[in-house]
Amino acid sequence: MAVMNLKAISEAYQQTVPNKARRTIRNILVASVFVLPGMAVFFVFLLLPMIESVQFGFYKWDGLGPLQDYRGLDNYEKAFNHEVFRTAITNSFRIMALSLLIQLPIAMSLALMVGRGNLPGRRIFRLLLFLPYVFSEVITALIWRYVMHPTDGLLNWFLGHSVPGYDNVGWLADKDIAIYSVFIVLTWKYFGFYMILYMAGLQGVPKDLEDAARVDGANIVQVLSRITLPLMGSTIRLTVFLSVLGAFQQFVLVWVLTGGGPVNASQIMGTYIYKFGIKSFNLGYGAAVALILFAITLIFSIGYQRMILHQDFAGDISL
């Protein structure tokens, strides 16, 4: 009897629900089977911790026990009044500016050289230039700690034998130049990544257009400014976006190189959160600073995508 009832219900359902509606419901159920596990992981390991971090930022909390010592906005006020925090956020913006002004132009120049020039052995140069990006950040930092050692470092040895009267420089120990030394290492590590992106962008620039411009009398600067770079506009905008976000998300390489020193001179946002939040068992304060960092990157990401990157989706190829 039960089997007959189920069969009758099934037949009634098929008669009352149109075929298109049944297919829609079936597609939704199938999609849910694949989407829900990923959404559950996203919620548990990303979205929920972010929500809880907002809550932690209003408490003085060492990471153990319940939240009891409510401080309101005191953690945020303490951060902006802390001189080291101001140094960290200034250094993050400094690395961002230097990346846009130095790192990306170097990557573009090398991409044009090995991607469009007549340099012999271009494949070997591509491999050698991209190789630093393959190294892990820890390995990169350890290599450059030796290179920039104040007494036995390779850099001081080379300059000492090349420049008359040269005195050894504490590249990572001098508070006035430590952040710039860190930037040199960051540039060495990541310029190969941007070079590869630019080389990929060059593949979309027809070489016939460049050759035609040269035949019409255009020099190399005019070819680059009027043809090559405008046609690479989408790639350039993408690398700017990645470079800015990368400048604010650095941690491992800087921490292994300097630990934020000397005298907190090379602190950036990531190392500051780790030193004054996690390592000091002041997770409430660390959560507040992390939320400030999140707000900076979120505002930039939304603003940049709406004002700059939107033209790529609209098909605009100009800079």
Considering the domain architecture, whether residues 207 and 113 belong to the same structural domain is answered as yes
Given a cut of 50, whether residue 288 has pLDDT beyond it is yes
Considering the domain architecture, whether residues 31 and 103 belong to the same structural domain is answered as no
Considering the domain architecture, whether residues 180 and 38 belong to the same structural domain is answered as no
Mean predicted confidence (pLDDT) in 271-295: 92
Considering the domain architecture, whether residues 51 and 89 belong to the same structural domain is answered as no
Considering the domain architecture, whether residues 261 and 225 belong to the same structural domain is answered as yes
Mean predicted confidence (pLDDT) in 52-74: 88
Mean predicted confidence (pLDDT) in 297-306: 91
* Residue 8 forms part of a structural domain: no
Query: What tens digit of pLDDT does each residue of 188-207 get?
Result: 999 999 999 999 888 888 88
Residue 87: per-residue pLDDT: 95
Q: How far apart are the first and last CA of the chain?
A: 73
Considering the domain architecture, whether residues 106 and 241 belong to the same structural domain is answered as yes
Bigger pLDDT: 242 or 16?
242
Our count of domains for the chain comes to 2
Considering the domain architecture, whether residues 101 and 24 belong to the same structural domain is answered as no
Considering the domain architecture, whether residues 137 and 23 belong to the same structural domain is answered as no
Residue 252: per-residue pLDDT: 93
Model confidence at 318, in pLDDT bands (50, 70, 90)?
A: very low
Considering the domain architecture, whether residues 96 and 47 belong to the same structural domain is answered as no
Query: What tens digit of pLDDT does each residue of 195-241 get?
Result: 999 998 888 888 888 888 888 888 888 888 888 888 888 899 999 99
